[in-house]
């Protein structure tokens, strides 16, 4: 049995997973303090609850995988802006709690790897993943290998440029997909529009100037209820997925483009349908190729499941 733990900027999700990739139990906890020691103590607490739920002790676990929102090498999280970590020796610190074999990976890479091995991208040669949440994460698998590129920074699909000289992105550049289609970007647009009082909105009650983040399901409820402002803002930002996805399809001709992350989980199949519509007019080899765009099959579990697979493969997952 394996433990797979997804450590995010706001939540931790721990899974107990069988060697066949079956999820036996799960536990989710909020991140309170973001210093490495507190986060890893919390991750272990979360893991123990998942173990208890499965009726197991930690001796039942062969190895543990940890996923972090960071570039990773040698068990160290190089830079995780969501947690404020830089060169954090995650494996070393986690070893205080779990003494068995421990492996560290990047969350988006592990999420796409899980979709490739067990989920929506099985049997494909070339697979891309876009994960829409606080940011827009990306990963690329080609012929069974995760692409890292010549400086380890490949796969930054959130930083495809969709509008030259466009909106300022969190990365400091302009016009990135993340500056339009992330939850952060949608929240910023909603705040602007509420301030300008352009359209009425049910979200006027829940979004205040001091709101740091918005709940994906709240956003979806307002969208489903045809709240005019939510429709305008969400469609206005998310439609730029169209040119971005078409660009990568025209470039790599993948077998699957998997959409995942909190926003996609909340919006579900209707969003996939709309993204296909937004992509179709831009595909070089014909609009029917938009069918390669699919929803994550594993949802929230994809990243911790990928972490468990990393543990199962002793750190050598799709390399």
Q: Are 283 and 289 spatial neighbours (Cβ–Cβ below 8 Å)?
A: yes
Find the binding residues for its own copies in span 227-266 (CB under 8 A).
Answer: 239-240, 242-244, 246-248, 250-255
Q: Is 163 in the site for its own copies (CB under 8 A)?
A: yes
- Report the DSSP beta bridge partners of residue 76: 73
**Of positions 140, 146, 193, 293, contacts its own copies by CB under 8 A:** 140
CB of 302 to its own copies, least distance (A): 20
Near its own copies in 182-221, by CB under 8 A: none
Question: What is the rounded distance in angstroms from the CA atom of residue 282 to the CA atom of residue 273?
Answer: 15
CA distance 40 to 56: 20
173 binds its own copies (CB under 8 A): yes
Q: Does 138 bind its own copies (CB under 8 A)?
A: yes
With binding defined as CB under 8 A, does residue 121 bind its own copies?
A: no
Sheet containing 11-17: order of strands: 23-30, 11-17, 2-7, 63-68, 102-106
Return the residue of 157, 181, 271, 293 that touches its own copies, per CB under 8 A: 157
Q: Count the site residues for its own copies by CB under 8 A.
A: 49
Give min distance, CB of 23 to its own copies, in A.
29
Check binding of 26 to its own copies (CB under 8 A). no
Whether 64 and 99 have beta carbons less than 8 Å apart is answered as no
Cβ-contact 140, 154 below 8 angstroms: yes
Is-contact 62 100, C-beta < 8 A?
yes
Retrieve residue 183's tokens.
């939850």
Footprint of its own copies on this chain (CB under 8 A)? 124-126, 138, 140, 142, 147-157, 159-164, 171, 173-176, 239-240, 242-244, 246-248, 250-255, 281-285, 289, 292
């Amino acid at each position: 049995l394996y433990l797979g733990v997804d450590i995010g900027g706001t939540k931790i999700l721990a899974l107990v997973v069988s060697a066949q990739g079956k999820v036996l139990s799960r536990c989710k906890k909020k991140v309170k303090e973001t210093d490495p020691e507190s986060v890893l103590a919390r991750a272990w607490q979360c893991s123990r609850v998942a173990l208890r739920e499965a009726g197991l002790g930690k001796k039942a676990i062969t190895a543990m995988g940890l996923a972090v929102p960071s570039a990773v090498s040698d068990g160290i999280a190089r830079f995780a802006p969501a947690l404020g970590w830089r060169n954090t020796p995650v494996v070393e610190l986690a070893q205080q709690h779990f003494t068995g074999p421990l492996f560290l990976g990047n969350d988006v890479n592990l999420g796409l790897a899980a979709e490739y091995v067990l989920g929506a991208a099985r049997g494909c040669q070339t697979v891309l993943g876009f994960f829409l949440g606080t940011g827009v994460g990306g990963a690329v698998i080609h012929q069974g290998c995760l692409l890292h590129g010549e400086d380890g920074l490949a796969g930054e699909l959130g930083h495809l440029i969709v509008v030259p000289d466009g909106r300022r992105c969190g990365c400091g550049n302009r016009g990135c997909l993340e500056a339009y289609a992330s939850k952060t970007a949608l929240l910023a647009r909603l705040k602007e529009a509420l301030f300008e009082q352009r359209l009425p909105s049910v979200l006027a009650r829940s979004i205040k100037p001091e709101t740091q983040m918005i709940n994906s399901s709240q956003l979806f409820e307002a969208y489903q209820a045809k709240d005019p402002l939510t429709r305008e803002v969400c469609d206005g930002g998310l439609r730029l997925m169209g040119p971005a996805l078409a660009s990568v399809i025209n470039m790599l001709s993948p077998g699957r483009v998997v959409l995942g992350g909190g926003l996609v989980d909340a919006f579900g199949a209707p969003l996939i349908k709309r993204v296909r519509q937004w992509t179709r007019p831009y595909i070089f080899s014909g609009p029917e190729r938009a069918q390669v765009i699919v929803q994550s099959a594993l949802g929230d579990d994809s990243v911790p499941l990928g972490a468990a697979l990393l543990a199962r493969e002793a750190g050598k997952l799709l390399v």
